[in-house]
Chain A
C-alpha cells in the first residue's frame, strides 16, 4: 500500500495557484521607470491588486488516466497547463509529477523557415525534450505520419501551411513522455488530418500514459478522456466523469443553473404538462454530427381533454433566435380531445443546422382558450459539430451559415 501509493499517482497538485499583478500602473519595464517608482513609493509597491488566474487547484491523477480540462475563455485552462508544464511558476501551492513530462502548448515551436524539414524535426524534437537518438529512432515514422517524404530536405519556408502543420504535429505526436500535457493543438490543420491526430492521441491515451488535455472540442474531450475538470473563473468547479463534466459544462454554457441534456418534469407537477423531453443526437448525449438523422422525443401528460391542444418545439441558437420550428397541431394529433400519456417523436432525416450550440423551447397551448400550459426554454442543450465532414479548399467556420441546403450545380464554359 505504501509503496503503491507513490507510483500509482502520476500528478498530485495541492492548492495550486497563480496570480498576476494588475497594479495601478503598468509594471516598470525600463530602468528609468523602476527608479521613478522607487522614488515615488520608497516603502513598497503600494496597492497592487492580484488577479488569480488559477486558485486552489487540488487534484490527483492516477497513472494512465486521460483527463480533460474544459472551461470558458479565461477560466484558467492555459494557466493550469503552463504551471504543470513548468513554463511558469505558481504563486501558491505546489504540484508533483511522477514521470517524464511532455507538453504540447503549441506545435512547431522553434521551427525555423530556413531550415529543412529534417533539420526542423531534430530541432523541434530537442525543444520538446526528446533526446537526439529518440528522434533518430522515430524519424521515419514521423515523416511518414506527416506524409511529406519527398519534401523532407526542402526548407520549410517552401511548405504549404498544411504540410508545415502536419510535420509540426507529427513530431509532437511522437513525443515519448509518461505524462503528456496537451493544449488545443487540434484546432489546426484540415479535418482529415485532425481525425488522424485524434486517433494518434487515442493511442497515446490507451497506451497507459497519463494525459492532460485541454480542448474546446467537446467531441475530442468525450472521445479521449474518461475524467474531466471544468474550470470556472480560476477554480475547479467540477471534477468527475467526463459525461457528467460535459453535462455540467453545457449547463454552464446555457447559463441555466441546471440544464441537463434531457428534461424531466419536477415531481408532483399536475395539469397538462411535459413529462420528459430529450434530443436524440448521433455522436453522444448532446453531441450531434451535421447532416446525421436527428430526433426529438417528448412525453406529454394530458389529464383532461383539450379540444385544440397544440404542441410545438423551437430550436434556438446561441443568440436565442429560433432557427427551427416543429409544430404538431391541426387535425392530426391524437392527443386532442383525449386523455392519458402521449409520446411525441419528431424525426429529422438529415439535420442541416451547422456547427454551434442549440437549445430547445417547448410550447404546450390550447388554441381555443388561449391557455399556455407550458412554455419551457433552454431545454436539452446540444451541440452540432462538423467533425468528420471535410470540405476541400476552405474549412468550415461557425458563422458562414445557419443551415446547409442540398444543391447541385452546373458549370459550363460559354461557347
Chain B
C-alpha cells in the first residue's frame, strides 16, 4: 500500500515535476486522442489523404501565380512552386498545430467538466495528426521535386530538428491560446487573423534574402523566419539562415514554451468553472 499514489487537492498548484509525471502517467490518453483525430480525419472524407496534399499544393499554386509569375519575387534561383511549397509544408504544420491546439479545450467541454486528466494533454494531442499530415506533405514535395530532377541531399536529415523547433513554437503559443480561449472567446476570432499576418511576415511566399539589409535584423525577430528558411535549405539547398538567427529561434521557442505553459497552468484551475 506504500506504493499507492497520493492525490493532493487544494494545496496550491502542482509542482512542475509532478505535472510532468502526471502527463507521463496519462501518456496512453495522449495516444488515444491522437489516434482518434487521425482516424476521424482519414475516415470521413472521400479523398482522405489527398486533402492533406491538395491544401498546401493549392496555396503554393496561388503563391506561384501571384508572387512568382506576376510579382516575380526572387527565389534564390529555385522554381517558384517548389520554393514556396517547401516552406509551406513547415508553415502548415505550425499553423495547424497552433490553430487546433487553441480550440482543443473549448471544443471538448465535456472532457473538461466531466473527467480529470492533466489538461495539457489536450493541446498536446493535436500534434500526432499534424505530424502525419506533415509527413504526407513532405512525401508529396519529394515526389514533385523528383519530377524536376531534384533529389534531397544530406541536409534532408536536419528536417526533424526543424520540425521540433516549429512544433515547440506552435505548442508554446498554442498552450497560451487554448487557455486564454476558455476565458476570452475572442481568441478564436483573433488568432486566425494573427496567423494570416504571420504568414506574410515569414519567409514562405518570398525569401528572407529579399528583405533589404537594414530591415534584416528586425525581420529575424520573427522566430519563425529562421526555421522556415532552414526548412527550405534542408529540402532545396537555398542559403543557410545563419547560426545566430537559429540560436535566437531556439531560445525564443524555449521561452515561448515556458510562458505558454505558465499561462496555461495559471488559468487551468478554473477551466471547469468557466468553460
Interface residues of A (CB under 8 A from B): 7, 16, 20, 27-32, 34, 63, 82-90, 92-101, 103, 105-106, 109-110, 112, 114-115, 119, 122-123, 125-132, 178
- CB-based contact B116/A103 at 8 Å: yes
Tally inter-chain residue pairs, CB-CB below 8 A.
Answer: 123
Distance A313 CA – B9 CA, assembled complex (angstroms): 52
- CB-based contact B111/A97 at 8 Å: no
Q: With A88-B272, A88-B273, A100-B4 given, is the CB distance from A83 to B9 under 8 Å?
A: yes
- CB-based contact B273/A95 at 8 Å: no
Min CB distance B191 to A, Å, is: 12
Question: Which residues of B are found within 8 Å of A93, using beta-carbon distances?
Answer: 10
Q: Is B21 engaged at the interface, CB distance under 8 Å to the other chain?
A: no
Q: Is B132 engaged at the interface, CB distance under 8 Å to the other chain?
A: no
Interface residues of B (CB under 8 A from A): 1-2, 4-11, 26, 28-29, 31-33, 35-36, 39-40, 43-44, 108, 110-117, 183-186, 269-270, 272-274
Min CB distance A34 to B, Å, is: 7
- CB-based contact B111/A94 at 8 Å: no
- CB-based contact A109/B115 at 8 Å: yes
Q: With A105-B114, A122-B32, A127-B29 given, is the CB distance from A32 to B40 under 8 Å?
A: no
- CB-based contact A87/B272 at 8 Å: yes
Question: Which residues of A are found within 8 Å of B33, using beta-carbon distances?
Answer: 123, 126
Other A-B pairs beyond A89-B9, A125-B32, 7, CB < 8 Å? A86-B9, A95-B10, A96-B9, A99-B5, A127-B32, A127-B117, A178-B4
- CB-based contact A29/B36 at 8 Å: no
Nearest residue (CB) in B for A34 is B184
Distance A82 CA – B275 CA, assembled complex (angstroms): 15
Min CB distance A5 to B, Å, is: 12
In this complex, which of A85, A87, A106, A125 has the most chain B Cβ atoms within 10 angstroms of its Cβ? Answer: A87
Min CB distance A277 to B, Å, is: 45
Min CB distance B114 to A, Å, is: 5
Distance A16 CA – B186 CA, assembled complex (angstroms): 34
Distance A82 CA – B270 CA, assembled complex (angstroms): 12
Distance A123 CA – B125 CA, assembled complex (angstroms): 13
> Which 9 A-B pairs give the minimum distances between C-beta atoms?
A126-B32, A90-B10, A97-B7, A86-B116, A95-B9, A126-B29, A88-B272, A94-B10, A99-B4
- CB-based contact B183/A29 at 8 Å: yes
- CB-based contact B8/A129 at 8 Å: no
- CB-based contact A31/B186 at 8 Å: yes
- CB-based contact B186/A84 at 8 Å: no
